[in-house]
Amino acid sequence: MADHGTHEHHESAHEGAHATNQMYVRIAIILAIITLVEVVIYYIPTIRSVLVPALIVLSLAKFLMVVGYFMHLKFDSRLYRFMFASGLVITLGVYLALLAMQWTRGYWFPLPAA
């Protein structure tokens, strides 16, 4: 938590200085291109083996760009960043652990399927 008291967020929240409409359009174009790349690599059989990591990296890039630029988190107060990041980190930590447990446990179905 921000323990330095109340005076550290002076220069918060004036994103106008950092981001312009041209930049937004440029980011949107990059986002569109990444999406296109994602769909294209989905259809290329030869790179199947790296498809999953590639997709994860690409969508992570999209995620960070939208959060950083469109939601201004890159320029906004550290406090917002801390808040959103804590939600994200806890979610990731908890659910990656859950998935690891569920996926390795397997599933037992001795009966015919419904």
- Interface of this chain with other proteins, residues 41 to 100, rule: CB under 8 A: 42-45, 48, 51-52, 55-56, 58-59, 62-63, 66-67, 69-71, 77, 79-80, 83-84, 86-88, 90-95, 97-99
Give dist(CA 42, CA 37) in Å, integer.
Answer: 8
Whole-number minimum distance, CB 59 to other proteins, in Å?
A: 4
Give dist(CA 29, CA 11) in Å, integer.
Answer: 30
Whole-number minimum distance, CB 88 to other proteins, in Å?
A: 5
Is residue 30 close enough to count as binding other proteins by CB under 8 A? no
**Which amino acid appears at position 88 of this protein?**
L
The number of beta carbons lying within 10 Å of the beta carbon of residue 69 is 21
With CB under 8 A as the rule, give the number of residues binding other proteins: 72
Strand, helix or coil for residue 6: coil
The encoded tokens of residue 17 equal 């200085």
- Looking at 17, 24, 46, 47, which residue binds other proteins (CB under 8 A)? 24
- Looking at 17, 18, 35, 74, which residue binds other proteins (CB under 8 A)? 35
Whole-number minimum distance, CB 1 to other proteins, in Å?
A: 6
Element of type H or E holding 14: none
Is residue 5 close enough to count as binding other proteins by CB under 8 A? yes
Looking at residue 76, what DSSP letter applies? Answer: S
